[in-house]
Amino acid sequence: MKRASTKTGKHLIGNLIRCSKYQYIEMCFDLLKIFYDDLTINYELSVITDGSNLFYCLATDNYVLEVNDFTNNKLDDIFTIYQNIGHITILYHKNLIDEKIRMASQSLIIDIYEKYALGSVSAYTPTAFIEYIFEQARKVLYESIERANDDFKVAYQKRLSQEKIYVEDVPFKVESEIKINPKKYVSTQFINKQNSSAKSWTFVISEFGFGKTSLLVNLPSKDLYKYIYIPISQFNSDSFANETELAKSILEIIFGKKLDTKNIIIDAILVTEFRQLLRFQKDIILLYDGLDEYRLSYSEQGLKQIFSCTTSFVCNSIFTLRKEFYNERNTTFNIALEVNQRPTYSYIELREWNDKEILEYISELKSKVKNEKNSYGYLVDFEKLIKQKKYNDVYGDI
**For residue 394, what are the CA distances in angstroms to 142, 164, 379?**
46, 15, 14
Question: Over the stretch 351-392, which tens digit does the pLDDT of each residue have?
Answer: 777 788 788 888 888 888 878 877 788 888 888 888 888 777
Which residue did the predictor score with more confidence, 163 or 307?
307
For residue 341, the model assigns a pLDDT of 66
Question: How many Å apart are CA 384 and CA 395, to the nearest integer?
Answer: 13
Question: How many Å apart are CA 126 and CA 323, to the nearest integer?
Answer: 53
One-letter amino acid of 246: L
Neighbour order of strands in the sheet with 344-350: 179-180, 172-174, 344-350, 200-206, 317-322, 284-289, 226-231
Check whether 314 has a pLDDT greater than 70.
yes
Give the largest CA-CA distance in the chain.
Answer: 94
**Of the candidates 318, 253, 258, the residue with the CA atom closest to the CA atom of residue 284:** 318
Confidence class for position 181, pLDDT limits 50, 70, 90: low
- Roughly how many angstroms between the first and final C-alpha of the chain, as a whole number? 50
Question: Over the stretch 57-78, which tens digit does the pLDDT of each residue have?
Answer: 999 999 989 989 888 888 889 9
191 in Cβ contact with 222 (< 8 Å): yes
Per-residue pLDDT, averaged over 182-193, amounts to 58
57 in Cβ contact with 46 (< 8 Å): yes
DSSP state of 295: G
One-letter amino acid of 34: I
**Of the candidates 274, 342, 332, 283, the residue with the CA atom closest to the CA atom of residue 308:** 342
pTM of the model: 0.81
Name the least confident of 108-117, 138-147, 161-170, 265-274. 161-170
Confidence class for position 158, pLDDT limits 50, 70, 90: confident
Check whether 176 has a pLDDT greater than 60.
no
For residue 19, the model assigns a pLDDT of 94
**Mean pLDDT across the chain:** 84
Q: Which residues are within 8 A (CB) of 346 and not within 5 positions of it... i.e. 6 or more apart? A: 174, 175, 189, 200, 201, 202, 203
For residue 278, the model assigns a pLDDT of 93
Confidence class for position 178, pLDDT limits 50, 70, 90: very low
DSSP state of 222: B
Share of the chain above pLDDT 70, in %: 87
Per-residue pLDDT, averaged over 187-203, amounts to 65
Check whether 323 has a pLDDT greater than 60.
yes
